[in-house]
Structure 1
Amino acid sequence: MATDVVELILEDHRRFEELFRQLRDRNSDRSALLGELAALLVAHAEAEESEVYPALKRYKEVDNDEVDHGAEEHAEGHQALLALMEITDTESEEWESKLEELVEALNHHVDEEERTILNDAREQVADERREELGKLFLEIRQDRLDDDCGDISYVRRVAADTKDRID
């Protein structure tokens, strides 16, 4: 299993994209898929913000403004995720609309993060340090998953705690 933090983050990004494809399928178990997405998304963002982003900000070649912007986009993603989770009818047009808002917010974030932060990290951070950060990322992500971070009450708390980043 890879432990390079850049590769681990990219793997999660590809999983988000796959979950979005499945969530768009009206014949899928949207509630179960949304639960999986919520858990992975929250755990991923919290692991990035607690260890990866602060570490990357210490490298002068990594753009601190981009790292801060990434955290702002996580907050926007949490808001969009919560808005979707609060709609119980997964067949409704409102649910479809909120799903597309979440997809748009996350795709925008993923694209920017991959082009800026992750490219900088790949080029400027030593392999050994990326491995160390990868292990921390996995540990924190798993801790959050074990805490049931995909539960709507957890998502509400995270959304409330991060709302000030986007206001």
Structure 2
Amino acid sequence: MVSTLDDTKRNAIAEKLADIKLIQQLIIENEQLFSRESSDSEISDRIRKMLDDDQKNLGVIETVIVQYGIQQQPRNTIQEMVEKIRQIMKGSELSLYEKVFQHELLKHQQVMSGITVHKAAQKVGADVMAAITPLNTVNFENRAHQEQLKGILEVLGVRELTGQDADQGIWARVQDAMAAFSGAVGSAVTQGSDKQDMNIQDVIRLDHNKVNILFTELLQSNDSQKIQEYFGQIYKDLTAHAEAEEEVVYPRVRSFYGENDTQELFNEQAQMKQELEQIKALNPSTSQFKDKVKQLMDAVGDHIRQEESTMFAAIRNNLSSDQTEQMATQFKAAKSKIQERLGKEAVK
């Protein structure tokens, strides 16, 4: 049985990603609450826009977790913290100002967690960097949200202390700060309703990029243990990816992509699975192991090129944006279940 890259460092990153997802869910709950509690139309509108962003960003975080390929539960301390904050937010002990203040701290925590994951990925492996790349956009957007929350806190705080409205120049300053920040990070920041959810092509392409990196890392390594570990990750990633495509994508595209072309994709993946099992039985220290991996890489490369050219074109020409985004959601859900199953099988 080949070993995998599920070592201590990778499991720790998976746990941190689970923490981030749980806190993101709490952030969404808070913003839904604030939009109901606020009587200020300007503040309510800004919170609703943040809520739209954060609901989309939850999808991005879920994509990163599935792409990363290691499922973990949030730490007990984070679960306890989230439950305490949830109860505080629902109660009447704190004013809206105090609740938003706590919310801004959660945003700061998300930013720092995202940066920490990014820095840790740089140390652990190029495949991890590829998997967590979409998280960068979430990090940037959370920074922009922090600027808006600072403005909201000033307005609410002045009203709470004086009963009067704050200088409305606050919003102009907030917009200037957001514009300056957006300029600093360039096109990586997406704003409000202009941002779209990932479609099925985006999600599949992320998988393709990650496995290509893993193949490169394996073939460049001379350490038999690392070679075995890289193959273990390739085995898990390709298996989950193939089964999710066969469950969600190929049946959906068959009617417009064509019976023959779709069946060809099924056949290629069946052959890929056989090759994975053959390599799995080999000694990673032999030259035959790398030769077989190279053959597999070439076959997977041909498969990728077909999907990203003709299949992607057929999807663009026949499905709406909503349909491709819905398919991405279904694909991620299927892949997550497959990953859980593979994880349980590995433990047996």
Is the TM-score greater than 0.5? yes
Alignment partner, residue 124 of structure 1: 318
What is the alpha-carbon distance in structure 1 between the residues aligned to residue 265 and residue 345 of structure 2? 23
Which residue number corresponds to residue 79 of structure 1?
274
Name the CA shift for 1:130/1:150 in 2 (closer, same or farther; >3 Å): farther
Q: Give the TM-score taking structure 1 as reference length.
A: 0.82
The answer for the alignment partner of 1:160 in structure 2 is none
2:198 alignment counterpart: 3
Q: 1:78 to 1:97 in 2, by over 3 A?
A: same
1:95: how far off? 0.5
1:108 aligns with 2:305: no
How does the TM-score come out when normalised to structure 2? 0.41
Tell me the residue number matched to 2:285.
Answer: 91
Higher relative contact order (CA 8 A, sep 6+): 1
Unaligned residue ranges in structure 1 (runs of 5+): 153-167
Distance in structure 2 (CA, Å) of the matches to 1:150 and 1:22: 26
Shift in Å at residue 63 of structure 1?
Answer: 2.5
Whole-Å Cα distance in 2 between the matches of residues 118 and 85 of structure 1? Answer: 31
Kindly provide the amino acid, as one letter, of the partner of residue 254 in structure 2: K
Q: What letter is aligned with 1:67?
A: T
1:143 counterpart = 2:337: yes
Deviation for aligned residue 1:122: 2.1
- Give me the whole-angstrom Cα distance separating, in 2, the residues matched to 1:122 and 1:130: 8
Q: 1:24 to 1:151 in 2, by over 3 A?
A: farther
What residue is the counterpart of 1:63 in the other structure? 258
Residues 35, 151 of structure 1: CA spacing in aligned structure 2 closer, same or farther, 3 A cutoff? farther
SS in 1 for 2:285: coil
Determine whether 1:19 maps to 2:224: no
Q: Deviations over 1:52-104 (max 9, x none)?
A: 1111123x3x233211110100011111111111102x121111111111111
- For residue 83 of structure 1, give the secondary structure of its aligned residue in structure 2: helix
Q: Deviations over 1:24-69 (max 9, x none)?
A: 02245112211111111011111111111111123x3x23321111
Deviation at 1:149, TM superposition (A): 6.5
Runs of 4+ deviating beyond 6 Å: 149-152
Give 5+ residue unaligned stretches, structure 2.
Answer: 1-59, 61-196
Question: How far apart, in 1, do the equivalents of 2:343 and 2:250 lie?
Answer: 20
Q: CA RMSD in A?
A: 1.8
Q: Give the aligned partner of residue 240 of structure 2.
A: 43
- Greater radius of gyration (CA): 2
- Is the 8 Å Cα contact of residues 19 and 33 (structure 1) preserved in structure 2? yes
Change in 2 beyond 3 A, CA 1:150/1:39: farther
- SS of 1:148 mapped into structure 2: helix
Distance 1:103 1:151 in 2: 25
The DSSP-based 3-state class of the residue aligned with 1:91 is coil
Distance in structure 1 (CA, Å) of the matches to 2:262 and 2:198: 21
Q: How many residues align?
A: 149
- 8 Å contact kept, 1:40–1:150: no
| Amino acid in the other structure paired with 1:139 | A
Q: Percent of counterpart pairs with the same letter?
A: 22
**Deviation digits for residues 87-125 of structure 1 (CA, Å, limit 9, x no counterpart):** 02x121111111111111111111112121122112321
User: What is the DSSP-based 3-state SS (H/G/I as helix, E as strand, rest coil) of the residue aligned with 1:3?
Assistant: coil
Deviation of 1:3 (Å): 3.1
Q: Which amino acid aligns with 1:103?
A: M
